[in-house]
Structure formats: structure tokens, C-alpha cells
Structure 1
């Protein structure tokens, strides 16, 4: 299958909460993560990045899209930064974007999470996002890279498109694709719900969803805390007898998982509890169904 590398990015910048009105669009390095939040102040960084897909042949279907960033500095290499790419839904200008006026994101549409520790190349799988751009399902406003922002001194920096010495280490997007299969995307309607839960030692459950009207559905679970959580997908034919659909999943700090049922039943929910006794956690759960 053919592939193409787009390098560098069209535009990129980072946002900093400690300097909420400052723009970093021309910086050669960009930051991601939480540096410090305490009595003396706070500093959290998020990065924005966008690529022009114009060199991709018309009618292509992307088999794999990998965003590659070269991280050149780690505040503390023993503290991983769990970085996730999210779809940006608003337009933004790299020369004016700040923490206070930065764009919004769709947290239900994201790529693979990477645990960044030391310097070097890291790849983030954003295949679903890129295919959404080329099919017209999403507008290409780029992606935001952020962590759960719960761990001090996790900050990492990467070379931006404005790096002038190590130009081969600028951001790149590697696309593997097939051609000759143009397709149209029929209109689809989605049902979405987002909830947050506090996790305890005892097993608890999310809200019950009636899935009888849906063609397919997915639970996305994002562990926003520093402790691991045990997650299970449960299904029921009548909201009174619950069975496990698949194996339990250990969801580590900063990680995201997508759960799709193997069997279809009218009702579904998730169970959750702490992996380690006495170490509480928090999770965000998205339920997304296609009608």
C-alpha cells in the first residue's frame, strides 16, 4: 500500500494556563502536560497542531494515520505524560491562540494515548480522525494534544514546525492509504451521553442504557485519575439479569478504552471499582450509539 509523509505541520502552537493571554505560535518547541499546580500558582500546557491533507490522492481511504512528534525535553522522565489527541471543532489562528481564547474539542473523538517519558519519537494513531476529515464527517481544524492534567511535573516538550536547526525532527503525519475506492458517507444520527463517576473499592454501576433502538453502540471510558480501575461491560435481556460481556479490563491512569459488546441485548451498563483497595479514582464515560 502506498504511503505519504506530510512534514512539517501547517500550523502549531501551545496554550499555557499560567500565562492565559500569551501566544506561542512562533516557538520552536511546544509543551504538553501539567507542570505544577499549588499554592504558588499553576501551569498547564496543551498543544494544537494541524496538517494540510491536500497531497493525499482524491478518493483515498486511509488505512493508518500516525502523528509523529519528537519530544526533546522531559521535566521529569520518571513521570509519564499520558498524552491523547482530540479532535478540534473550532477554527484557530496559531499567531493569536491563547489559553483564554483556545478552541473547543470533541472529547468523544480521539486517537491513541501514549505514555511519553524520555526524549525521542512517539507515534499517535489518529486514523479515525483523519478518515473523518477526508470523508467530510469532520472539519479539519487539527487536533489538540493534552494529558489528564492530574500529575505535577509531567510536562514534555516537542519540536514544532518552527524548529530551524533539527528540521528533520519537525512534526510529521505518516499516512498509509488505498485508492480507487471512492465512497459516500450516508447521513447518520448519533445518540451521545457523557457522565463522570467516582470509583470506590466496592463494585458500582453506570446508568442503564436501553439499546433496543440502536444499530451499534460503544462505551468510551477515560481514567482521569492517578490510580487504576477495573471496568466490565454488562448486558441484560430485561434489566433484571446481568451477565458479563467479555473480560474485565484494567484501565490504568490516563488511559482510554473503547468497549463494544460481543452479544446484543436490550440493556447495557458498565461496572467499575478500584483495582487497589483504598486508592480511589475518577472516570469519564461516554455512551455513543448509531441509530
Structure 2
């Protein structure tokens, strides 16, 4: 490798041949052991504002086959009567990623040239001792969400990590109005070559939302969670026009109030579960799943059926891995469906839905999304006057809210499906109700057994017989019915469904293999007879299905 040094003191490690940036050594900082009175943190080695400095000269030179980096800290800072030893000098090395799923950084008025892209925390507030205003920038990549989706609601979730005193402060969220780079942004600059129009970052002065943050609860098992609501139309704009996604600004609404609050950043790798999250509930318009009012081109598979939505180019594969008859036609099957345009993960991998994955999701405005077994999403619109739900055109189902924790869907034959709010996820803005049981008009029930977190563990019919599902690493690995294995699954290193084996008896089974492209979409299916069906896409649209030739 070779080294490139910037005027700001950053060092980039370049590939010797391609000159591509591989690592960045951000301008180092030094901190002493002082802690401002009232500072409290959940981090093992926190960095309080006011206890650090970036007054360090950086130089580098080659010596033989080595690169030497010299750091010359300010003697004035080191010899100050305010210093509390020991002092740590920290040159932070990180993989250079010009485009992450998440970019975040902290900028400081008292250190106008200091970058904060590698900081383990994001801060907002005012450290009066050093006259330091602290702000943070954050940006999420929305490129993996289905194009054309309608955003229903969105919120930013942050976990509190440190505070300087218990004074309650209103922390506001604003939309950034200029592009910036995580490893370049400072109080003065947004990129290496461009200044902010206004020092401290450019942002729309209209407040999106705010949260009052006070003391840090160090006794709590989980860090305190704070949520900022973001207008759906803003996130919709980011999805429809990615160049308009300039990120968000986090700052105190009163920057003269002597307190600051910090939150876990995306760089705190040992606690990634506490990373900033942008939770979005969206309504996909890519017509996932199967409905009679859509047009499809069909093709057969040895153990399933394939469909291509002629309007959207979505590939749908449908498999029934197990079925059993029951009393009064109340039997059930375990089926799974693949949608090439689906992006959500499941216990069968990205793109797969299955029997028992059905849910309804309730939004703050009262609207409800019903997702059925094959991944089709149906929007029920809530009427605030009549307190009823209107089904989408062509869907002949009635939805009612039975109580605070349950919804019921009834078809025209009187069959009911009950959904209960079993999943208590504080990170989500809407409420998710998984399927609890299905009941025919003769009161025969199919019950879906779940763990406390909503994981489906079994399906029991009206006579008490149970299909039991086993898991490894969050993936379904096999299903047994009355203690006899009926099917099993394996997965590749990316967690995608690799094989499905359907057992005729305890010993023999037929295996189907699934292979995926670099974009994650299913490229081909190889059946138990070693016959391959290949799928060819143009971007996200399926254009061609190549089926095996039958020879005599």
C-alpha cells in the first residue's frame, strides 16, 4: 500500500496498483482523564466533551518498505494546569467506505476542523465550559427498498449512551440541506473542498420533531430509546429522488442550555443492536404474491409452480412442502412463496414468505396493512367517523378490530382469521399482529403456536395434531408432524434458502436447490431430477424463463 495525506491531516491507505482508497486514518485526537462534573456514560471508555483536543500535527514518510506516521501533540495542551493524566493519543483507523447503509458524524464549534466520522457516539447540546456547541449528522441509504413504494410512516430511533448532567434538553431533528461526507464533514466543511453555507451545517430550519432527553439511566438493562417522527412525505421524497436524501441534523433546540446528550453511533461495533435506526413502514406497489385480478405467465416446476407478473416483472414461485386433511375440511398445509421483488427477511431468507407469516400492521392513522401467505399486501383504509375499515378493490374480506390487541378478518363463507398483537418491538412505530388462529364456520381451529417474540414454532389442527418447526440461527431447518420429519431446509453463507428436501418416509427425500445472483435474486432452481430452470432479469424485472428441455 501507499499513503495519501490531506491538508486536514487525514491519511488514506491506497492500493498500490489501483490507487483505490482502502483505509482512512482520521486526524487523531488526544484526551486526558478528566471528566466534567455531572458526566455519566454507559460506555467503557467514553470521551467527554472538553477533555480532548485535536491540536496534533501529522506527518508521514516512507522508510524502506514501511510508512512512518509521526504525531506531534501540542505541548501547550499537554502542559496545561488543567490536564489530568494519563493522556491517550488515538489515531483511528477504519475501512474507507464512501457509501454506507448508514453514515453518521459529530461536528463541534470548539474544534471547527475536527471530523467525527469514527466517533462511537453522536452528540447534541452545549458544553459551556469550553463554549462548544455539538451537533450530529446522520444519513441512511434507502436503495434497498422497493422502487415506487408508498411510505406510510417513518421514525429515527436512537439509544442514549452519555450525558453531561441531568438537565432536560429538547433535542431537535431537522432535514439537512447540503450534501456532506462522513469522513470529511466538520463544523466548517461539508466535504474536503466545500464549505458549509453556514458554519455548523446547512439544514432546513423547520423542526421535524423533538425529544426531551434528561438523565441517563445506568441501572436499566437496555439503553433508553428515543424516537423522532419524520413526515412520510420527506422519506418518500428520498426514495423517489435519491439525490434529495441529504440526511438529517440532530441538534439541541436551545444551544445555550449547558448540557449535552450523546447516543450510540453506527461505529460502536460491539453494540450494533444499539446503532441508529430509521424505521419505515411502506406499502409496496410491486404487486407481490398472487391475486386473481392480476395477469401472469405460468411455468411448471417439478415440485411447485412458477408465475411471472406481466405488469411488474415480479417472479413468484409457490411450493407446498406438507399438507394434511382434517376434520370438516379443516386440514392445513405448510407452503412457502418466493417473490423476486421482495426485500424483507424471514426465517426462510430474503424474499420468502410461508404459512404462518401472515400479519396485519396497524399505523398511527388507523390504516391497516394485511400481508397474506404469498406476500401480497392489502391496504385497509380506516374511516375515523364510522370506525370501520374499507377493503381494497377486488378483495372480498371484512376486517374488524376485535379489541385493543386483536384484529379479525372474515371471508364471505364465514371463515375467520384472528391476529393478535404478540410482538412488542419498541423500535417499531406501527403495531404488528401475527396470525394467531384460523377458524371455519363450524368452529374447527388451526392454531399457530409462537414464542414470546412471535417466532412460529408449530401449527396444530382441530384434532390436536401438530407440525413442529425447528430453528438454527433464526432459520427454519426442518418440520416434523407427529414426530416424523416431513421437510428440511439448508442455507448458504448469506442466510439464503439453498435446498429444500421433502421426505416421502423417514429415509428417502427429494431435494431442490436454489441459486442466487450477486444482486440476491433467485437465478435458478435445480429440481430432484437435476433439471434446471433459469431466470434472467433486466435490473429488477424478470425478462426470461429458461426451462429444461425434455428429451426422449
TM-score with structure 2 length normalisation? 0.29
- Contact residue 70 and residue 158 of structure 1 kept, 8 A: yes
Deviation, structure 1 residue 80: 1.7
Q: 2:271 corresponds to which residue?
A: 166
2: distance between equivalents of 1:132 and 1:118?
35
- Which residue number in structure 1 is paired with residue 185 of structure 2? 97
2:155 corresponding residue in structure 1: 66
Match of 1:34 in 2: 126
Aligned length: 170
CA distance in 1, matches of 2:189, 2:172: 21
Deviation at 1:139, TM superposition (A): 0.5
* 1:54 Cα deviation from its structure 2 partner: 1.3
Counterpart among 149, 154, 161 of residue 254 in structure 2: 149
User: Partner residue of 1:245?
Assistant: none
TM-superposition CA deviations, 1:205-233 (whole Å, max 9, x none):
xxxxxxxxxxxxxxxxxxxxxxxxxxxxx
Secondary structure of the corresponding residue to residue 132 of structure 1: helix
For 2:173, the equivalent position in structure 1 comes to: 85
Contact persistence 1:61–1:181 (CA under 8 A): no
Aligned counterpart in structure 2 of residue 124 of structure 1, from 206, 228, 232? 228
Deviation at 1:152, TM superposition (A): 3.2
Asked if structure 1 preserves the Cα contact closer than 8 Å seen for 2:154 and 2:229, the reply is: yes
Show the counterpart of 1:25.
Answer: 117
Shift of 1:101: 1.5
Q: Distance in 2 between matches of 1:9 and 1:21?
A: 25
Find the aligned partners of 1:178 and 1:31 in 2 and give their Cα distance. Answer: 33
Which has the higher Rg, Structure 1 or Structure 2? 2
- Give CA deviations for 1:124-170 in whole Å, capped at 9, x if unaligned: 11134212212339700101111123443320011111002211001
Q: Deviations over 1:46-67 (max 9, x none)?
A: 1000001112111111111111
Q: Distance in 2 between matches of 1:149 and 1:100?
A: 21
Q: Write out per-residue CA displacement over residues 4-41 of structure 1, whole angstroms, 9 at most, x where no aligned residue.
A: xxxx952100110111111111011121111216xxx4
SS in 2 for 1:34: strand
Checking the alignment, whether the CA contact within 8 Å between 1:44 and 1:149 is kept in structure 2 is no
Partner residue in 1 for 2:137: 48
Task: Give the direction of change, closer, same or farther, for the CA distance of 1:80–1:138 in structure 2 (3 Å limit).
Answer: farther
CA distance in 1, matches of 2:279, 2:187: 29
Mapped to 2, the partners of 1:31 and 1:150 lie a distance apart of 12
Q: CA RMSD in A?
A: 2.2
How much does 1:181 deviate?
8.5
Q: The residue matched to 1:130 in structure 2 has which SS?
A: helix
Structure 2 counterpart SS, 1:89? coil
Q: Does the 8 Å contact 2:178/2:203 carry over to 1?
A: yes
C-alpha distance in 2 between matches for 1:181 and 1:85: 31
State the secondary structure of the residue aligned to 2:238: helix
Contact 1:63–1:177 (Cα < 8 Å) also in 2: yes
Residue 106 (structure 1) aligns with? 204
Once residues 158 and 145 of structure 2 are traced to their aligned partners in structure 1, the CA distance between those partners, rounded to angstroms, is 20
CA shift for structure 1 position 179 = 2.1
Q: Cα gap change, 1:87/1:48 in structure 2, threshold over 3 Å: closer, same or farther?
A: same
Residue of structure 1 equivalent to 2:104: 12
Q: Deviations over 1:183-208 (max 9, x none)?
A: xxxxxxxxxxxxxxxxxxxxxxxxxx
The within-5 A match list for 1:265-276 is none
Hey, what's the Cα distance between the residues in 2 that align with 1:84 and 1:61?
26
Q: Say whether the 8 Å CA contact 1:132–1:138 is kept in structure 2.
A: no
8 A contact 2:146–2:286 mirrored in 1: no
**Could you tell me how far apart the structure 1 residues matched to 2:162 and 2:101 are?**
20
Structure 2: tracts of 5 or more residues without a match: 1-99, 191-200, 217-223, 288-552
Deviation at 1:71, TM superposition (A): 1.0
Asked if the contact 2:111/2:187 (under 8 Å) is kept, the reply is yes
SS in structure 2 opposite 1:32?
Answer: strand
Q: Contact (CA 8 Å) 1:23, 1:97: kept in 2 or not?
A: yes
The runs of at least 4 aligned residues of structure 1 exceeding 4 Å deviation read none
